[in-house]
A and B are shown apart, each in its own frame.
Chain A
Amino acid sequence: MTTAEQKPAVRPLSTKMMKLSPDMKDGVLLGSRCNECGTYFFGAPQFCVRCTSNSLKQVELSKQGKLYTYTIVRQAPPGWQGQVPYILGAVALPEGPHITSEIIDCPEETVKIGMPLDVVFRAGGKMMDGTEIIVFKWRPAQA
């Protein structure tokens, strides 16, 4: 086995959801805009679920949104053993989609519906084969 093979593989959670910088430390969320009705979606759906058109264009989504709602998860769901408590937030982007992920760097007592949050890209666990997955998370907006 060569050294190169021993280096753990790293990949984004989904190339349909995000575009990462070469060092995978920064990036942008990807979405789609329906060419017929103009509705925005997160990721790359094949069809517009509002009007059922199959004509959509890939777009980069805003890096900041507002907290729509949240919870503090205290019992670990599958794969999150040892990582509770964590704040889970649904963030409304200006384009419309609500995007749910962990909120980091945010003391529990400061989380508040309506607060602005920035998207960040972080290591988010491993696949069964050891591949490290880069996910998006939310962080209180930097002034």
Chain B
Amino acid sequence: MARAMAVNVRPQREVVIAGVGLHPFGRFPEKAITDLAREAVLEALVDSGIKFKDIQVAYFGHVYQEGATPGEMTLRQMGLTGIPVVNVENACSSGSTALWLAYWNVAMGMFDIALAFGSEKVPRGPVATTAEGSPMRFLGSDFMMAAYAMGMRRYMELYGAAPEAFASVSVKAHKNAAINPYAHYKKTFTLEEVMNSRKIADPLTLYQCCPTSEGGAAAVVIAKDIARHNVKDPARCVSIIGAALRTQKWSDEEEDEGGQIALAGKDAYEMAGVAPKDIDVVQVHDAATSGEISSVEALGLVPHGKAWKMELDGEMDISGRLPVNTDGGLQGMGHPFGATGIRMVHELCTQLRGEAGVRQVKKAKIGLAQNSGAGGVATVFIVRK
């Protein structure tokens, strides 16, 4: 019998995030990816109260690298403790894939305390996803933002969406990033500035394409039953109640009804025992502004064809009905590939703990994070406090 879940198992015990850490996103020419990663890990350890010597397994998310085993090269600076360390490459979803692995290891009882971390120094300029000499390079299609733009054009055709709706995603993201000390771009833009910025791939303009960034992120996960004896403040722990990773699945449908994002979302909702209406705060993969609109629809948070209007009406602002990308998202925070997925969960923890300050969403109890990767990858995490 076919199973709904990609993962044919159930968690054996509850797992919580004990601490999270970030290295600010931006440009840091004097630092290596191991420096960015180490600083994020140290912050997560301090936040959790867990000592490095107590970490039993670690997963490091990255796409580019500076030599082999960047995860080991980071952690060996903090102590040669002999633990298994695995380097994870899953495109822009590498960080959340590292967290998925850390979660399931603890959930299935292989280890009690795990570290997920990631960092990146993304070079400037358009991001290609294939190797030199590949067919796509000769066809002019090896361009991530062109792929987003084509999806956006199709959406506009199907639902009559106005280009201003997509631009308003960027305006909101930068408004949130401007009040986030960790963000790459702490600058606000008007709708006109976004619409009139340099065109990259019609209808996407420059300020609708996430910046290429550097940064790091980390999370310490621990079995809940041992957390109270090990963490600094058990009351600040955030439970992972849904953790899903999916790749593209064949569809006979003419229109893409959410693809792997929808599949990962369904897995996560089923595992968590919650419905889209229960979600209070959301982080999604807005590498292009159109990504936010397609993701919230794929996840069932908004009916298909409706999200663009909600963006125009400000309903996904921090004070709106469905707050999305409250920390600035990829648009405003920036996008160091290996760190981004963990950064999203960092923001959910900050919100659910009530520690988001001026960005605080009122009465947030359940949060959802969705991270995408080239090659047809999607992850979804649902967390609760």
Contacts and interface: CB of A to CB of B under 8 A. Distances in A.
B140 A80 contact: yes
Interface residues of A, number: 33
A127 B201 CA distance: 25
A72 interface: yes
B151 A69 contact: yes
Given A74-B199, A77-B128, A78-B126, A135 B146 contact: no
A27 B340 CA distance: 45
B157 A69 contact: yes
Interface in A89-139: 90, 100-102, 113, 124-125, 127-128, 133, 135-136
B135 interface: yes
Given A69-B150, A71-B146, A78-B128, A125 B138 contact: yes
B154 interface: yes
Interface residues of B, number: 29
B27 interface: no
B197 to A, nearest CB: 12
B175 to A, nearest CB: 25
Contacts of A9: none
Q: Is the interface of B mostly helix, strand, loop or mixed?
A: mixed
Contact of B139 (A69, A72, A75, A102): A102
B154 to A, nearest CB: 4
Given A72-B201, A78-B128, A14 B146 contact: no
Interface in B140-161: 140-143, 145-146, 149-151, 153-154, 157
Most chain B Cβ neighbours within 10 Å, of A49, A77, A83, A88: A77
B138 A133 contact: yes
A71 B216 CA distance: 33
A71 B153 contact: yes
Contacts, number: 88
Most chain A Cβ neighbours within 10 Å, of B135, B139, B154, B250: B139
A78 B137 contact: yes
Contacts of A8: none
A44 interface: no
A73 interface: yes
Interface string A44-73: 000001100000000000000000111111
A79 interface: yes
A14 B135 contact: yes
Most chain B Cβ neighbours within 10 Å, of A50, A69, A133: A69
A129 to B, nearest CB: 10
30 contacts: A13-B138, A14-B135, A50-B250, A68-B154, A69-B150, A69-B151, A70-B150, A71-B150, A71-B204, A72-B201, A73-B201, A74-B199, A75-B126, A75-B145, A75-B198, A75-B199, A75-B201, A77-B140, A78-B126, A78-B128, A78-B142, A79-B138, A88-B201, A100-B141, A100-B150, A101-B140, A113-B157, A125-B138, A128-B133, A133-B138
Interface of B: 126, 128, 132-133, 135, 137-143, 145-146, 149-151, 153-154, 157, 198-204, 250, 252
Interface of A: 13-14, 17, 49-50, 68-80, 83, 86, 88, 90, 100-102, 113, 124-125, 127-128, 133, 135-136
Given A71-B153, A77-B146, 16 more contacts: A13-B135, A17-B135, A49-B250, A69-B157, A71-B201, A71-B204, A73-B201, A77-B142, A78-B137, A88-B141, A88-B146, A90-B150, A100-B139, A100-B141, A101-B141, A135-B139
